[in-house]
Amino acid sequence: KAGVTQTPRYLIKTRGQQVTLSCSPISGHRSVSWYQQTPGQGLQFLFEYFSETQRNKGNFPGRFSGRQFSNSRSEMNVSTLELGDSALYLCASSFAGDNSPLHFGNGTRLTVT
Amino acid sequence: GENVEQHPSTLSVQEGDSAVIKCTYSDSASNYFPWYKQELGKGPQLIIDIRSNVGEKKDQRIAVTLNKTAKHFSLHITETQPEDSAVYFCAANRAGSYQLTFGKGTKLSVIP
């Protein structure tokens, strides 16, 4: 079974631009979550989607948004990029969320200059 | 909200020795506690998990224990090998919120 696939692996953007990251979950998984990983803050929850509905959102500004498609694939968007948005963005999928084992992709490394 | 604290932040052991990583959580309603291993350049990999109705779970050289009363859980790795070197994260769910709260991580180095 293929794992969680995230594209692209690396991105370099300029402050003020916007970026879209993509995630394909494990086949059969309907829940997709996004996390931001930085050396200072560790792993922080961004949002979770199930059947195209956002069920929960973390404590991030409105510049961070996401969506899920009918095939469970998900995208997240960050608008008006700031230097502090530089991080590893991790997508994870699970069968149903909430207590279902969460499986992570290898992430998208975003660098904002 | 949920707070998860993890200790130690770094741990060095000789190959063949055991390693123990400890975590505490704050939300008494948490009921799912996974552990992840993250190698350089990769995403976190689920290695073992435990639910609140179980006190201990083992999988070959890895075991996890949970003390609900004290709100802490631990990862035990026996007969460590160089390939066990990685960063390990504990996590706890925030009941009903569909999110995990992670500890800050433990960098484990196994010295051959």
A chain contacts of residue B42, beta-carbon cutoff 8 Å? 106
Between CA B108 and CA B9 the distance in angstroms is 9
**Residues 4-63, chain B, touching A (beta carbon < 8 A):** 31-32, 34, 36, 41-46, 49, 51
For B92, which residue in chain A has the nearest alpha carbon? A99
Of A33, A98, A103, the CB nearest to B46: A103
Of B34, B43, B93, the CB nearest to A98: B93
pLDDT tens, per residue, chain A with 113 residues: 789 999 999 999 999 999 999 999 999 999 999 999 999 899 999 999 999 999 999 999 999 999 999 999 999 999 999 999 999 999 999 998 777 899 999 999 999 99
Using the beta-carbon criterion (under 8 Å), do A98 and B44 form an inter-chain contact? no
Per DSSP (E only), the strands in A25-107 are 31-38, 42-50, 53-57, 64-68, 74-78, 87-94, 103-104
% helix, strand, coil for chain B, step of 5: 5, 55, 40
pLDDT tens profile B31-82: 999 999 999 999 999 999 999 888 999 999 999 999 999 999 999 999 999 9
Between CA A113 and CA A16 the distance in angstroms is 10
Predicted confidence at residue A78, as pLDDT, reads 98
A chain contacts of residue B4, beta-carbon cutoff 8 Å? none
Between CA A1 and CA A47 the distance in angstroms is 25
N residues, chain B: 112
Between CA A49 and CA B35 the distance in angstroms is 22
What token pair was written down for B106? 């433990």
Q: Cα torsion at A10, A13, A15, A18 (round to 10°)?
A: -90
B chain contacts of residue A31, beta-carbon cutoff 8 Å? 98
Of B93, B99, B102, the CB nearest to A42: B102
Predicted confidence at residue A16, as pLDDT, reads 98
